[in-house]
């Protein structure tokens, strides 16, 4: 099972069902599946290959087979990058083994310094390069390291907060998505297995009180524990930071429902297409767990949503 389907369903759509096998977006897929550093590495490889070929095509003065091939591969990489915004055939589907084909061709073509020379001639030319070329090549990496170090010092609190929040989010997802999809809501209020994740989120908030991921996940843990007032407070703060996050908006709407604030719940759940049907199911579901009060809240919310959607 790929990573994105469970994360998207659980934390964006807030539903226990399988929806999409991949994101239809090359960039989202590589970052979800490879992580931050893996995704950056792949992007550097692809963008670096495009930059090398662009230089090759720009500097080429003669008409040659290598020049034509360079132009063709460059166009292929640009199509891959642009088309990756709307689909992902080279990572989310059967084309994955071809992911690095174009960058590999680009590196090969870029290293052909002069198509008219033999391979041995090119080795001789490389040996005769000026001795200061190494120093020139070290300038840009040195500048990059200085910039990254400066940013690290300036943004260290935010970076530490993000680090702890992401550690907790990964751990929480691993626990919640075991045997996913189960096609049913989690009815177990025992959040003991999530205690360490919660401690990581609190550590993140100690560095940055506005760390959205930490607030969102703590709100979800409180929802599972059925402490709806605590969930509402954390989710409200997360929503104020990122009002366009669908998962936060829906979870906050449901926290309002279970915390008897139906007016605000209606505002949050407008545009959440599945909310009406889910409230109908919840009105039965809560009765099965002897929570007549929450079943009644779901019934009232259903009526409100029906009037809104008419």
Domains of the chain: 3-127 (no CATH), 157-308 (1.25.40.10)
Residue-level pLDDT at 118 = 43
Average pLDDT, integer, range 90-103: 80
Contact 251, 219 (CB under 8 A): yes
Which tops the pLDDT comparison, 209 or 180? 209
Q: Which single residue is written with the structure tokens 């099972």?
A: 1
Task: List, for residues 240-278, the tens digit of each pLDDT value.
Answer: 999 999 999 999 999 999 999 999 999 999 989 999 999
**Per-residue pLDDT reduced to its tens digit, 101-138:** 888 888 888 777 555 444 444 445 545 544 455 555 56
CA geometry: angle 192, 197, 202, nearest 5 deg? 110
pTM metric for this prediction:
0.73
Residue 151, pLDDT score? 66
Element (H, E) at 279: helix 275-288
pLDDT at 297 over 80: yes
- The DSSP letter of residue 193 is G
Nearest to 8 by CA among 26, 28, 27: 28
Sign of CA dihedral 165, 213, 90, 14: positive
Q: Determine the number of helices (DSSP H) and then strands (DSSP E) in the chain.
A: 14, 0
| Stretch (H or E) spanning 61 | none
């Amino acid at each position: 099972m790929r990573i994105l389907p469970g994360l998207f369903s659980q934390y964006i759509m807030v539903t226990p069902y399988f929806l999409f096998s991949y994101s239809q977006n090359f960039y989202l897929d590589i970052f979800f599946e490879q992580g931050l550093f893996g995704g950056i590495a792949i992007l550097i490889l692809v963008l670096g290959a495009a930059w090398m070929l662009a230089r090759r095509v720009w500097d080429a003065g003669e008409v040659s087979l290598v020049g034509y091939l360079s132009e063709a591969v460059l166009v292929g990489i640009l199509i891959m990058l642009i088309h990756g915004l709307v689909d992902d055939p080279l990572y989310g589907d059967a084309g994955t083994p071809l992911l690095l084909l174009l960058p590999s061709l680009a590196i090969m073509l870029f290293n052909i310094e002069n198509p008219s020379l033999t391979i041995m001639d090119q080795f001789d030319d490389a040996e005769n390069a000026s001795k200061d070329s190494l120093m020139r090549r070290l300038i840009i990496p040195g500048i990059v390291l200085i910039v990254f170090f400066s940013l690290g010092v300036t943004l260290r609190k935010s970076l530490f907060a993000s680090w702890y929040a992401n550690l907790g989010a990964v751990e929480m997802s691993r626990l919640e998505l075991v045997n996913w999809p189960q096609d049913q809501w989690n009815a177990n209020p025992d959040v003991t297995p999530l205690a360490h994740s919660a401690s990581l989120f609190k550590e993140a908030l100690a560095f940055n009180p506005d760390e959205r991921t930490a607030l969102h996940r703590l709100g979800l843990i409180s929802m599972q524990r059925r402490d709806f007032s605590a969930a509402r407070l954390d989710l409200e703060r997360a929503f104020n930071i990122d009002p366009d996050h669908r998962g936060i908006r829906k979870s906050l709407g449901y926290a309002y429902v279970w915390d008897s604030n139906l007016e605000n719940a209606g505002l949050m759940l407008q545009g959440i297409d599945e909310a009406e049907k889910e409230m109908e199911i919840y009105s039965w579901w809560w009765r099965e767990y002897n929570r007549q009060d929450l079943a009644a809240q779901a019934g009232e919310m259903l009526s409100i949503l029906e009037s809104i959607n008419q």
